[in-house]
Amino acid sequence: MLNRAELSAVMSVYRSVRVGMVLGLGLVWRTVRQCEGRAGLRAVSGSAAVQGLRAGEHSWLCGSTAAVLHTVQGRVEVRQNFITEEEENALLQELEPGLKKKRYEFDHWDDAIHGYRETERAQWGSVCTGLLSRVRGVAFPEGSPLLGPVHVLDLDKAGYIKPHVDSVKFCGSTIAGLSLLSDSVMRLVLEDNSAEWVDLLLSRRSLYILRDEARFKFTHEILKDADSYFLGQRVPRQRRISVICRNLPV
């Protein structure tokens, strides 16, 4: 049986621990709100965002938990400055004449894209042929059957790509895309648990690669300009062209 003095000491310790827990939870929630960027983005339930697989490992990657980052380890990749400014210009010189003949569409056959125009291209000049060979060389396993035409998606400044999973009937295990004209944020959300998410910072002239589980167990989207934040930092979205290579289903 505790005497009065011992009981008082125990209660004092309990109050200190309780205050510490409240302050700690408050710090976690503030960190969550910073990574959300805005209240309109998905809430991160129960934990702060984690950057990289270890502190500071990837400046282009953050997620809701360490567990979800381990899930996508080796299955998501962003290579910054994969092409030069001159190579970007070479791509634009080939693409702009055809794109200018099209109008931006603000609906889509499966409601996946808003504010876009698109095309496919099989023939390229020598500079673009070389850089697309470089994309395929780093993104796809040697001997992997590739989808012949390259998909080109032009998003208006007001455009965005809604959460979706590509059809397995038309796409293989890997997708690789060059980002032209603008930085943007790609968000992956686990289909079975929407509280688990990963954000990729796609800087201008970078190459992103999604493989296997990152392709088929997560939705992916390009955030609209109003929601374009990465780790609490604004990432202004301008007009964005993506040049996308895919392999064929096996």
Min mean pLDDT across 9-18, 160-169, 174-183 is at: 9-18
The mean pLDDT value for 37-59 works out to 52
Q: Mean pLDDT over residues 221-249, rounded?
A: 96
**Is 10's pLDDT higher than 50?**
no
* Residues of the chain above pLDDT 70, percent: 78
Predicted TM-score of the model (pTM): 0.79
d(CA 180, CA 183): 8
Question: In this predicted model, which residue has the larger pLDDT, 31 or 133?
Answer: 133
Report pLDDT for 236: 97
Amino acid symbol at 128: C
Q: Give the mean pLDDT of 3-23.
A: 43
Q: How far is CA 32 from CA 38, 63, 163, 184, 232, in A?
A: 10, 10, 21, 20, 9
The per-type count for the chain, helices as H runs and strands as E runs, is 5, 13
User: DSSP 3-state assignment of 236?
Assistant: coil
pLDDT of residue 3: 52
Kindly report which listed range (32-36, 96-100, 122-126, 233-237) carries the lowest average pLDDT score.
32-36
Q: Which CATH superfamily is domain 37-246 in?
A: Alpha-ketoglutarate-dependent dioxygenase AlkB-like (2.60.120.590)
Is the predicted pLDDT of residue 42 greater than 50, yes or no?
no
Q: How confident is the model at residue 44 (pLDDT cuts 50, 70, 90)?
A: very low
Query: What is each CA distance from 180 to 73, 124, 204, 249, in whole angstroms?
Result: 25, 17, 5, 27
Neighbour count for residue 189 (Cβ, 10 Å):
21
Using DSSP's 3-state secondary structure scheme, residue 216 falls into helix
**Does the CA dihedral 117-138-79-61 come out positive or negative?**
positive
Angle formed by the axes of helices 126-139 and 85-99, nearest 10°: 110
> What are the residues facing 117 on neighbouring strands?
154
pLDDT digits (tens, 9 = 90+) for 109-158: 657 889 999 999 999 999 999 999 999 999 998 888 998 899 999 999 99
Mean pLDDT of the chain: 82
77-119 pLDDT, tens digit per residue, is: 999 999 999 999 999 999 999 999 999 998 766 578 899 999 9
Helix (H, G, I), strand (E, B) or coil at 45: coil
* Higher pLDDT, residue 125 or 8: 125
Alpha-carbon distance values, 199 to 12, 59, 178, 185, 206 (Å): 43, 11, 17, 7, 15
Residue 26 has pLDDT above 50, yes or no: no
Asked whether the predicted pLDDT for residue 204 surpasses 70, the reply is yes
In the predicted model, what is the mean pLDDT of residues 206-224?
Answer: 95
